[in-house]
């Protein structure tokens, strides 16, 4: 049960990070075309990097690459929330992600 709950939380924060990137892209893009480009492109870029380097069955990279991509994706998602005017949510997001990653790492809960 513990493993399933933590892995579910990990999946949910990954999806939430993509949504945060989409919202940030839409809110910061000036023109409609730029809004669409950022709202679609940023989550797509994050998903591709995640799939290549950070996913449990990633085809490229080492554990250093995996952790670097995770820190970048989640850290930038927290910063995006902050810049959208939600500093407390950004901080809570980063703290929850850090705790979840620590539990998964220490308890060796990788799928």
**Chain centre to alpha carbon of residue 68:** 12
* Dist CA 53 CA 47 (whole Å): 10
Q: What is the CA radius of gyration of the chain?
A: 14
On whether the CB atoms of residues 50 and 14 are closer than 8 A, the answer is yes
Nearest to 51 by CA among 43, 60, 42: 60
Q: What is the pLDDT along the chain (111 residues), one digit of tens a residue?
A: 778 898 899 999 999 999 999 999 999 988 999 999 999 999 999 999 999 998 888 888 788 888 999 999 999 999 999 999 999 999 999 999 999 999 988 888 775
Whether pTM exceeds 0.95: no
Domain limits of the chain?
Answer: 2-106
* Dist CA 78 CA 70 (whole Å): 12
């Amino acid at each position: 049960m513990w493993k399933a709950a933590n892995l579910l939380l990990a999946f949910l924060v990954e999806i939430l990070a993509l949504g945060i990137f989409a919202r940030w892209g839409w809110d910061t893009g000036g023109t409609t075309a730029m809004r669409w480009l950022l709202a679609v492109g940023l989550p797509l870029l994050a998903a591709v990097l995640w799939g290549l380097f950070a996913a449990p069955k990633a085809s490229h990279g080492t554990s250093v690459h995996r952790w670097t991509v995770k820190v970048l994706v989640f850290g930038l998602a927290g910063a995006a929330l902050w810049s959208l005017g939600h500093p407390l949510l950004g901080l809570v997001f980063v703290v929850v992600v850090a705790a979840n990653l620590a539990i998964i790492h220490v308890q060796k809960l990788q799928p």
